Amino acid sequence: MLLIGLTGSIATGKSTVSSLLAAPPYGLTVIDADRLARQVVEPGTQSYRKIVDYFGATTPDLLQEAASETSPQGLPLNRAALGRRVFGDDPERRRDRAVLNGIVHPAVRVAMYRMLASSYLKGHWAVVLDVPLLFESKLDVLCGSVLVVAVRDPEVQMARLRARDPHLTAEDAANRVHSQGDVRDKARRADARNESKTIKTDGIVLWNDGDKAALEEQVAAAMAQIRAASPPWWHSLLLVCPPLGLVIAAYAYWQNVQINRRWFAQEDRHRANL
């Protein structure tokens, strides 16, 4: 089963690409990390209790106001208030964001691995891992292909975010963009996955500075490339011969680890020369 990593940054169009891949003619199973992140912090979950224990005393508006029908497990989290608490570059916010990630990310990984196992047993040829922080969480090492949805102009990203979420101030919007890293760096990392590769499907960048029609054309071209590199007969062979599939997966994992090592070494040399 091919794992296709899908990443980008806020307001670059990643959700649009995710929707396209889930719909015909592709019909791929999409494991959405953001959706899982919301599920694992619902009232009554272990992650919910940890968040309330850590943030509750210092974040008065952490929980939503009581509605007519309230879950006996507790009030839902006020995601906007939690976002204001953890998004930003000052040391306190970075620390609190690390605490929140330490609570949520392990629970999301467990849910993700369960969905991957289910998809494999159902015989799916490919599954999309929709993860905003794919590289940062090191989940890229599991992926045979990585799609990065990016924009060349940062102003386009900011304008889209504020149009989508008009309640955000300019500072709030900037904090959310910066918290996910520069999407152009993610595009360079996708390109780096193709070094020394004849078939350039390990990393594909979808530039989304234009309209949806242009993005749809890029998605179609990318999926045609990926499907050609992973034909149905190859998928069938790996499905009926699990040991071969494990060997291929282990080799791909090793290759991706080497790619990341070269990337970080190159970045360290670049910073040393500044």
pLDDT tens per residue, range 127-139:
999 999 899 999 9
Rounded average pLDDT over 55-75: 76
Residue count of the chain: 274
Rounded average pLDDT over 191-195: 91
Cβ(47)–Cβ(249) below 8 Å: no
pLDDT band at 71 (very low <50, low <70, confident <90, very high): low
Is the C-alpha dihedral spanning 187, 21, 107, 239 positive or negative?
Answer: negative
CA 84, CA 73: separation in Å to the nearest integer? Answer: 24
Widest CA span of the chain, in angstroms? Answer: 61
Residue bearing tokens 């799609």 = 147
In order of start, what are the domains of the chain with their CATH numbers? 2-272 (3.40.50.300)
Q: Per-residue pLDDT tens for 12-62? A: 999 999 999 999 999 999 999 999 999 999 999 999 999 999 998 888 889
* Tokens of residue 271, six digits: 């910073």
- pLDDT for 115 equals 95
CA 159, CA 68: separation in Å to the nearest integer? Answer: 36
- pLDDT for 54 equals 93
CA atoms within 13 A on the CB side of 30: 21
- pLDDT for 239 equals 85
Q: Per-residue pLDDT tens for 155-181? A: 888 888 988 888 888 888 888 888 778
Those residues whose C-beta lies under 8 Å from the C-beta of residue 22, and which sit 6 or more positions away, are 28, 29, 30, 128
- pLDDT for 70 equals 56
Q: Per-residue pLDDT tens for 84-120? A: 888 888 889 889 999 999 999 999 999 999 999 999 9
Higher model confidence: residue 201 or residue 64? 201
Q: What percent of the chain has pLDDT over 70?
A: 97
Taking all residues of the chain, what is their mean pLDDT, rounded to a whole number?
A: 90
Cβ(2)–Cβ(226) below 8 Å: yes
